[in-house]
Chain A
Amino acid sequence: MSLLNRYIHEVGRFLPRKNREDIKAELRSSVVDTLEDRFGTEPSESEVEGVLQEFGSPRDVAASYHPRSQYLVGPGLYPLFRMVAWIVIAAVLGAQLLAFFVAVFIAGEPFSVLETLSALLNSVPSSLGWVLITFMVLQYFDAKPYLEEEPWDPKTLPVLNPEADLKKGELVLGLVGGILILVLVTLFPQWIGFLSTPGGGFYPNPVILEYVVLIQISLLATIMLNIYLLWKGSWDFLTRIIKLALDGFGVVILAFLIKGHNAWLAARGASTFNAWISAIENNNWELVGMNAFRLAFVIAFIVTVIEIFSTIFRMVRSKMANDVSARDFVLKVD
């Protein structure tokens, strides 16, 4: 019966720890029952082989005892896993490229194809590994990615409203861009600045460094909102309110940054447009760069304010569209 012992041992290797010995004992007793019934108390080796074949391979037998299907990431979590995995791949590749450009074109490090490739080969699988580990834990605890209430109510289906549709491309682009900037301000804050000429002198921006934490918070919150929106598939009242709040927060940070640049430039007597022109003429790159940053922040400030108004406008229009579709429905029913 050494074959039977080997079989039971092998099945045991794949069984869940809980009840393992009990299942092994029952399996042994069942195989012996079958053998005795068919071949008496002393079956031959080939007869044992035949019965074990019938029971099935140790892995298959053990798998049938697992309480839940053996998924690393089950069908319920898979769509979310796939989305997060793609975003992570895009962000990691983007961050690598960014780091590469900073290293080669700003810090002036020598270019190495091999190093760049090996960095990519390391970072992509390891970040995907972390995503997988996170989802494996979620799967283990049977986490549900949906916030739907039980029992499901058809009335909770999202209203068909083109105004609420997301522009996915824009969202993904914004998401990847947000992650890249977050990586930049978190890992390489000393490299936020400007170059006098390609490969020339580098000037870090002291004002941005002062507000790094606020910028990180704002970016992180926006990234989380974008991920949620991608998952949810459409805007709703709450997400628009959060977007408004985040844009408002962004405007405050931009105002601080503009004020900071103003003060920095005023201290050097260079806050006016004319002073900027003369700085260019005099090749005073530090003043030119800080002025350029201030201009960029002013533009970002204006764009964000317009964005806030457009969000409010969309909220109003979305509300009106809802009212109209409800009225149409009532008319048709009548």
Chain B
Amino acid sequence: MMMNNAQSEQYLKLTQELRRGILVLAALSQLKEEKYGYALINSLAEKGLDIEQGTLYPLLRRLESQGLLKSEWNTEGSRPRRYYVISSEGLSILEELTAEWREITNVMEELLAGIASEGDLK
């Protein structure tokens, strides 16, 4: 089924909304070792999750202000970079969020499997 312009715009918005919720979990999961922003983007992209730079950097700062991440400038490389790593508070939140995520995916799998078997998704 082809989508018209309005539909694809709506689809884009809904996809963004859907992805926005998982970004925190995705970022926290990859920061057990310290990384700078661009390295984190690459590591997420390698695993199949593309995230815009304009979205990631403010998100990292927000997580840091909430105490879930720690950061510091590292001047040892070719140029100064800000490295982020998960805090102990972030780790316990990550654990809880992961459990929550598994539960959600189980439920969603069940819900969506039902739709697919009824042949509603054409």
B81 contacts across to A, CB distance below 8 A: 29, 33
Is B36 in contact with A60, judged by CB distance below 8 angstroms? no
- B53 contacts the other chain (CB 8 A): yes
A25 contacts across to B, CB distance below 8 A: 73, 80, 82
- A196 contacts the other chain (CB 8 A): no
CA distance A32 to B36 in the complex (A): 13
CA distance A30 to B37 in the complex (A): 7
Is B54 in contact with A55, judged by CB distance below 8 angstroms? yes
Query: Given contacts A34-B53, A54-B53, is CB(A29)–CB(B58) below 8 Å?
Result: no
Is B36 in contact with A29, judged by CB distance below 8 angstroms? yes
- B101 contacts the other chain (CB 8 A): no
Is B54 in contact with A33, judged by CB distance below 8 angstroms? no
Is A30 in contact with B38, judged by CB distance below 8 angstroms? yes
- A65 contacts the other chain (CB 8 A): yes
Is B57 in contact with A29, judged by CB distance below 8 angstroms? no
- B4 contacts the other chain (CB 8 A): no
Is B57 in contact with A27, judged by CB distance below 8 angstroms? yes
Contact with B along A168-209 (1 / 0, CB 8 A): 000000000000000000000000000000000000000000
Query: Given contacts A29-B79, A29-B82, is CB(A23)–CB(B61) below 8 Å?
Result: yes
CA distance A65 to B81 in the complex (A): 18
- B55 contacts the other chain (CB 8 A): yes
Within 8 A of A (CB), among B60-89: 61, 65, 73, 79-82
A30 contacts across to B, CB distance below 8 A: 36-38, 53, 57
Is A56 in contact with B79, judged by CB distance below 8 angstroms? no
CA distance A60 to B53 in the complex (A): 12
Looking at the assembled complex, report how far the CB atom of A14 sits from the nearest CB atom of chain B, in whole angstroms: 13
CA distance A233 to B15 in the complex (A): 40
Is A61 in contact with B54, judged by CB distance below 8 angstroms? yes
- A149 contacts the other chain (CB 8 A): no
Q: Specify the main secondary structure of chain A where it touches its partner.
A: helix
A27 contacts across to B, CB distance below 8 A: 57
8 Å CB contact of B58 from A32, A33, A54, A64? A64
CA distance A56 to B81 in the complex (A): 21
Query: Given contacts A29-B82, A54-B53, is CB(A65)–CB(B38) below 8 Å?
Result: no
Contact with B along A1-39 (1 / 0, CB 8 A): 000000000000000000100010111011011100100
Looking at the assembled complex, report how far the CB atom of B23 sits from the nearest CB atom of chain A, in whole angstroms: 13
Query: Given contacts A29-B81, A32-B79, A33-B81, is CB(A55)–CB(B61) below 8 Å?
Result: no
Identify the B interface with A (CB < 8 A): 36-39, 42, 52-55, 57-58, 61, 65, 73, 79-82
20 contacts between A and B (CB under 8 A): A19-B61, A23-B61, A26-B57, A29-B36, A29-B79, A29-B81, A29-B82, A30-B37, A30-B53, A32-B79, A33-B39, A33-B81, A37-B42, A54-B52, A54-B53, A55-B53, A55-B54, A56-B52, A64-B58, A65-B57
Name 18 extra pairs, CB < 8 A, besides A19-B61, A26-B82.
Answer: A23-B61, A25-B80, A25-B82, A26-B57, A29-B37, A30-B53, A33-B36, A33-B37, A33-B81, A34-B38, A34-B53, A54-B52, A54-B53, A60-B54, A64-B57, A64-B58, A65-B57, A65-B58
Identify the A interface with B (CB < 8 A): 19, 23, 25-27, 29-30, 32-34, 37, 54-56, 60-61, 64-65, 67
